[in-house]
A = this chain, B = another copy of it.
């Protein structure tokens, strides 16, 4: 298992380099600033953040490799006898300045758990990526989902449909009765079973990580030159409020980070740079803003059959 750990760790660092370099290129102005941090309980991370760019208002692409004794809160929550853990992953959120370019999130992770004598009890992969547009562009939605489907398919045709559904379920803002965005894929606890070895899940997770740039970059490039109004920007800032609500109220990843005493600034780098909350704002009937909300309230299929 030490081999899997080492291999996936190398992979996320390479993926981080590749994604940061592509995002700097498309931004054309700002560069990622890197911070290394150490976790008191063991391990640490490499946070990279680009702010106030030409196209990207705030982008965080971070990796972390943490380990040590399981925090009590985590033991209780997982209902486990595991004493120590290891977790590594890449996590990214990109907030473009233009309301015509969607926000995107992706995460690819590996988790291991050990008993008192350091024997491995369990190991699993998780991950996924999802798109949060401020205006619905159906071609973008189809492209993003088809890209997920194509990368998942070599590993089993049942995977994309199952993880598309889980994504819609997971990124659900319960208190609003609407999805955070138009989804993508989400999967967790992918362990060795009758059909697949842990190595197979690693290969799957790596391919899903490779889907990120071809899924998102063409969407950024397509809308990069489009002009937008102050009203569209206002709407984007209001919708970013829903993004904050999801991340702080419902997101297990954020909670896991705060509970395991991760670095707060690295965990919360996912939050959008400028946000608004107006009381009870309702977009006009028949407006593009209202059309987006209707789709978020009733998630649709997007990939080709």
Cross-chain contact A279 with B60 (CB below 8 angstroms):
yes
**Residue on B nearest A35 in the bound complex, by CB:** B280
A66 at the binding interface (Cβ < 8 Å):
no
Copies in the complex: 2
Residues of B within 8 A of A245 (CB): 248, 268
Residues of B within 8 A of A295 (CB): none
- Looking at the assembled complex, report how far the CB atom of A243 sits from the nearest CB atom of chain B, in whole angstroms: 11
- Which residue of B176, B267, B271 contacts A264 across the interface (Cβ within 8 Å)? B176
Cross-chain contact B249 with A258 (CB below 8 angstroms):
yes
A303 at the binding interface (Cβ < 8 Å):
no
Give A contacts to B, CB under 8 Å.
35, 49, 51, 58, 60, 174-176, 237, 241, 244-245, 248-249, 258, 264-265, 267-269, 271-280
Cross-chain contact A274 with B273 (CB below 8 angstroms):
no
- Looking at the assembled complex, report how far the CB atom of A91 sits from the nearest CB atom of chain B, in whole angstroms: 14
Cross-chain contact B279 with A49 (CB below 8 angstroms):
yes
Residues of B within 8 A of A51 (CB): 278-279
- Which one of A51, A258, A280 has the greatest number of beta carbons of chain B within 10 Å? A280
- Looking at the assembled complex, report how far the CB atom of A185 sits from the nearest CB atom of chain B, in whole angstroms: 26
- Looking at the assembled complex, report how far the CB atom of A218 sits from the nearest CB atom of chain B, in whole angstroms: 27
**Residue on B nearest A59 in the bound complex, by CB:** B279
- Looking at the assembled complex, report how far the CB atom of A6 sits from the nearest CB atom of chain B, in whole angstroms: 30
Residues of B within 8 A of A60 (CB): 279
Residues of B within 8 A of A35 (CB): 280
A277–B268 Cα distance when bound, in Å, is 9
